[in-house]
Amino acid sequence: MSEPQSEKLDPARIPLRLRTSPRWCATRLTERDGKLTKPPFSVVTNRELNGWEPKPELLVPFEQALATLPKFDYLGYVLTGSQLVVSDLDHCLQADGTLKAWARVYIDLVCDRVFYAERSPSKEGLHLWHVRADEPITFTDKKKIQRDFPDGKIELFWNNYVTVTGDVWGEFDPDARLEKGDLARIAAWIADKPKSASAAPVNGNAKKYELLLAGDIAGAGFNDESAADLALCSRLARAGMGRVEVELIWTKALPREKLQRRDYINATLDKAFEGLKPRNPEVDPNRLEKP
């Protein structure tokens, strides 16, 4: 976990949409069961806040919360009761700052529905902010949707609070919004969880596939581009990813003219997924169009 935010936060880096909303609290680094957590606190009472069901009178404007940073460690924004949704990508950034494969897939799917993104306090994750359509959440009785990967996870929140750092990542349209039905589609994609066993590395040739993901076909030991395509797609399919995910990663990792052919892409994916058990059709990302 990174150092406390304290006075490092530049208010100008926080979107106006958030700064003008009186839904702010603060967070404090707290050790519980041997782990550091960041529970929310009301700056009105200086007491811990129930982020799931907060009392409006315990939330404050941005400037009032900002003034408490010497006393607290971070600012927090309460989503409960608002039109905002956050995709929390935990441990999605590699040591060099690049995205892990599963995070690249997810951001490709939702990028035109994100109005702001920032690094999490650990600097190993990202928070993607969305404005949801004016429609009730009827697709789940849960307070969040989560999907675990071998080296990270995605959580979709529309309740509770989110720590705000101002450590901006990427550039997004500040007016971007989720259209009607988008939130349910994104939630369905996240809810399609691969089993932990199938998500584990399928063999010991991890380095070979890292080279393929980096676009180095020869370095991975392949003399035939089509064989490299199938090897990468098969690896990703057996790791629990769907066709949409596999295609996005494959075509970005190994781009060339042949990948403009839909028949070649479909034939390669058919071979990669041959013999694999179909997923639950209600949450199958293969059936979801890009939001």
Cα 223 to Cα 110: distance, rounded to the nearest angstrom = 35
| Enclosing H/E stretch for 39 | none
Residue 285: band (very low, low, confident or very high) from pLDDT cuts 50, 70, 90: very low
Radius of gyration (C-alpha) of the chain in whole angstroms: 21
Tell me the H-state helices in 38-191.
62-66, 101-110, 182-191
Parallel/antiparallel/unpaired status of strands 84-90 and 126-131: antiparallel
Residue 278: band (very low, low, confident or very high) from pLDDT cuts 50, 70, 90: low
174 and 30 together in one domain: yes
202 and 138 together in one domain: no
Last residue of a domain, one of 147, 174, 191: 191
107 and 202 together in one domain: no
Residue pLDDT, tens place only, 27-45: 998 888 888 889 999 999 9
Residue 67: band (very low, low, confident or very high) from pLDDT cuts 50, 70, 90: very high
18 and 134 together in one domain: yes
Asked if residue 291 belongs to a domain, the reply is: no
When the pLDDT of each residue in the chain is averaged and rounded to a whole number, the result is 84
Q: Are 159 and 143 in contact (CB under 8 A)?
A: yes
113 and 184 together in one domain: yes
Task: Give the chain's domain count.
Answer: 2
pLDDT over 50 (residue 94): yes
pLDDT over 70 (residue 206): no
Asked if residue 106 belongs to a domain, the reply is: yes
Nearest to 245 by CA among 100, 124, 35, 134: 100
Identify the domain containing residue 23 by its residue range: 11-191
Cα 227 to Cα 245: distance, rounded to the nearest angstrom = 19
Residue 178: band (very low, low, confident or very high) from pLDDT cuts 50, 70, 90: very high
65 and 161 together in one domain: yes
